[in-house]
Structure 1
Amino acid sequence: MSMLQFTVPPLPHYMLCGPSFYAPGGRHVSRRNVGVFDLLVVREGCLYMGEEDRTFEVGEGCALILRPDSYHYGTKGCDVHTSYYWLHFQTTGSWSVTDDELPRHGVEPYDEKRTQALWSYATHTFQIQVPQFARLLHPGKVDELIGQLIQLNQSFYSGSAKWNQQALFQDVLRQLSASMAKEESTPAAACADLAAAYMRKHYRESVTAQELGDRLNFHPVYIARCMQRIYGCTPMEYLLHHRIEQAKLMLLQTDHTVARIAEEVGFNQAAYFTSCFTRAEGISPRKYRQRFSYG
C-alpha cells in the first residue's frame, strides 16, 4: 500500500471541495502537475483512474488522493452514474511517498537532538500518514464531514468558517488514516456501517426500521444503538440526512422540479420534502437552488 507521509507541523491545509458526477461513459479529465493534492471520495458508482503507471478502481465508499506532482487521468468511462466529492488540499511542509507504515505502538528510539529540542522548547516535528487509496472504514462519516465543508464554502470570507473548515479537514485526514488500521472493526461499528451502506444504496425507496433489521439480521433497537454510538444519530435521521444531501446535488446539477427531486430522493410528498429540507438547511429548496446555482 502506498502512503503519503507528511512531516508536521505545519499540518496539511484545506483549500476547496465540492460535489461532482459523471453519467455513464463519463471520464475524469487528464491533468499534469496540478500543484495541489486532489482527494476523490466516491459516493455512488466507480471512477477508473490512473496516476503515472498505476491504475485504481475507486468504487463506492473508497477514496483516492491524486498527487500534486504527477500525471493523472481517467483510464476509461464510468459504467454507471457515478457521484463523488473532490477536495483540494496542500501542505507547506515536507512530504513523501512510502510503502512502510509508521509504528503504531511502542517507544520511539532515543534521539539526542530530539531530546535537546524538547528541553529547549524548539518545535518538534513528527510524521503522519494517510493512504493514497483506501476503502474507508466509515464512509458515512467522511460523507458527513465533506458535506459540512461544502456548506461552509458559502461563508468563504468568514474567519470562523475558515477555522471550522480546517478543523473538519483534519477529521477527514484522521478518517483516512484510520482506514489503514489492520485491527478488526468492532461489532457496533460493523453493524452501523452495514446499516449506513444499506440506506445509502436504498435511499430512493421506502425504508423502515423493521425492514432494516430484517435485511441486516439485527434487531432494530440494536441497530439504532450502534448508529447512535458510531454516527451520532438514529437510522432514520441518517436516512433523512442522506436524502437531503442527494436532493441538494440534484438542485444544483439538474433543472428538475422540486416535486420530481422529492420523488427521486425517496419522499412521497413534495410538501413534506420541502418542510424537511427547510428545517435542515434553513431555506427552502427553491431558495437553495437560487442562492447556490452558478452560471
Structure 2
Amino acid sequence: MSRLQFTVPPLPHYMLCGPMSHAPGRRHASRRDTGVFDLLVVREGCLYMGEEDRTFEVEPGCALILRPDTYHFGTQGCTERTSYYWLHFQTTGSWTVTDDELPRHGLEPYDEKRTQAMWSYSTHTFHIQVPQFVKLLHPNKMDELFEQLIQLNQSFYSGNAKWSQQVLFQEVLWQLSASMAKEESTPAAACAELAADYMRKHYREPITAQELGERLNFHPVYIARCMQRIYGCAPMEYLLHQRIEQAKLLLLQSDLSIGRIAEEVGFNQAAYFTSCFTRKEGISPRQFRQRFSYG
C-alpha cells in the first residue's frame, strides 16, 4: 500500500473543500503539478482515476489522495451518476511516498542528541502516515466531517471558522489513518496488540511469559512470535522498554529515590534496575537525572 508520510510538526493544513457530481459519461479533469494534495471521497457511483502509471476505481466509501507533484487524470467516463467530496490540503513540512509501515515500537538504541531533544524544549518531530487509496472504516463519519467543513466555508473569513476547519481536517486525516490500520490488521497483529496493551497497563506488576499467555488465552510461544513479527522484539523486552520509559518520567518529574523508582516501575531490586537502565540507555539512572533535569 502506498502511504503519504508527513514529518510533523507542522501538521498538514486544510485549504478548501466542496461537493461535486458527474453525470454518466463525464470524466474527472486532467491536471499536472497542482501544488496541492487533492482528497476525493466518493459517496455514490465510481470515479475512474489515474495518476502517472497507476489507476484507481474509487467506489462509494473509498478515498483517494492525488499528489501535488504528479499528473492525474480520469481514465474513463463515469458509468452512472457519481457524487463525491473533494478537499485540498497542503503542508509546509517535508513529506514523502513510501510502501513501508511505520514501526510500532520505540526500542531504538540510546542516542544522546535525540534524548536531549525529547527532554528539553527543542521541537521533536515525528512521522504520520495516511493511505493514498483506502476503503473507509467509517464512511458515514467521513460524510459528517465533510458536511461540517462545507458549512463552515460560509464563514471562511472568520478566524474561529478557520480554526474549527483545521480541527475537523485533523479528524479527517485520523479517519484515513484508522482505515489503513484496519485494512492491515491480522490475527498476529491483534495478538501482539493485546499483549502490548496488557504490558503497558500492568508494567508495575511481576509478569512472566506463562502468566501473559494465561491472561490473553494464547500460548506463550505464539505471543512471542507475534510480538517479534509486529514489534520486532520479545514480550519481556517490550515490558522492559515500558518500565524504563516510565522510570525516565519519574527520574525527571519526581524527587523519588532511585530505589523507590525501581519499585514503582516493577523492579524488585534497585541494583538490577540500575543495571538494566544502564545497559539500555548507556548511562545510569542517576546520570540521566543529572543530565536532563533543569533548575
Which residue of structure 2 lines up, in the alignment, with residue 167 of structure 1? Answer: 167
Does 2:119 correspond to 1:125? no
Amino acid in the other structure paired with 2:114: R
Kindly report which structure 2 residues correspond to 1:1-295, keeping only aligned pairs within 5 A, or say none: 1-105=1-105, 107-181=107-181, 182-183=184-185
Say if 1:61 and 1:123 are closer, same or farther in 2 by CA, change over 3 A.
same
If the length of structure 1 is used for normalisation, what is the TM-score? 0.61
* C-alpha displacement of 1:109: 4.5
Query: Does the residue aligned with 1:154 lie in a helix, a strand or coil?
Result: helix
Say if 1:17 and 1:113 are closer, same or farther in 2 by CA, change over 3 A.
same
Amino acid in the other structure paired with 2:11: L
**Structure 1 stretches of at least 4 aligned residues deviating more than 4 Å after TM superposition:** none
1 CA distance for matches of 2:54 and 2:6? 21
Kindly provide the CA deviation profile for residues 64-119 of structure 1, in whole angstroms up to 9, marking residues without a partner as x.
00000000000000011000000000000000000001023454453332211123
1 CA distance for matches of 2:153 and 2:28? 23
The unaligned stretches of length 5 or more in structure 1 are 185-295
1 CA distance for matches of 2:173 and 2:46? 22
The unaligned stretches of length 5 or more in structure 2 are 187-295
If the length of structure 2 is used for normalisation, what is the TM-score? 0.61
1 CA distance for matches of 2:120 and 2:157? 38
2 CA distance for matches of 1:137 and 1:109? 35
How large is the RMSD of aligned CA atoms in angstroms? 1.4
1 CA distance for matches of 2:130 and 2:119? 30
1 CA distance for matches of 2:105 and 2:167? 25
1 CA distance for matches of 2:87 and 2:65? 9
Amino acid in the other structure paired with 1:183: S
1 CA distance for matches of 2:67 and 2:60? 21
* C-alpha displacement of 1:180: 1.1
1 CA distance for matches of 2:126 and 2:169? 19
Amino acid in the other structure paired with 1:65: I
Amino acid in the other structure paired with 2:75: T
2 CA distance for matches of 1:111 and 1:133? 36
1 CA distance for matches of 2:180 and 2:22? 28
1 CA distance for matches of 2:43 and 2:110? 44
2 CA distance for matches of 1:111 and 1:6? 23
Query: Does the residue aligned with 2:171 lie in a helix, a strand or coil?
Result: helix
Which residue of structure 1 lines up, in the alignment, with residue 217 of structure 2? Answer: none
* C-alpha displacement of 1:169: 0.1
* Structure ID, larger Rg: 2
2 CA distance for matches of 1:118 and 1:23? 53
Query: Does the residue aligned with 2:25 lie in a helix, a strand or coil?
Result: coil
* C-alpha displacement of 1:3: 0.2
Say if 1:124 and 1:21 are closer, same or farther in 2 by CA, change over 3 A.
same
2 CA distance for matches of 1:111 and 1:83? 51
Say if 1:21 and 1:4 are closer, same or farther in 2 by CA, change over 3 A.
same
Say if 1:99 and 1:24 are closer, same or farther in 2 by CA, change over 3 A.
same
> Percent identity, aligned pairs only?
81
Amino acid in the other structure paired with 1:9: P
* C-alpha displacement of 1:183: 3.0
Amino acid in the other structure paired with 2:124: H
Say if 1:47 and 1:121 are closer, same or farther in 2 by CA, change over 3 A.
same
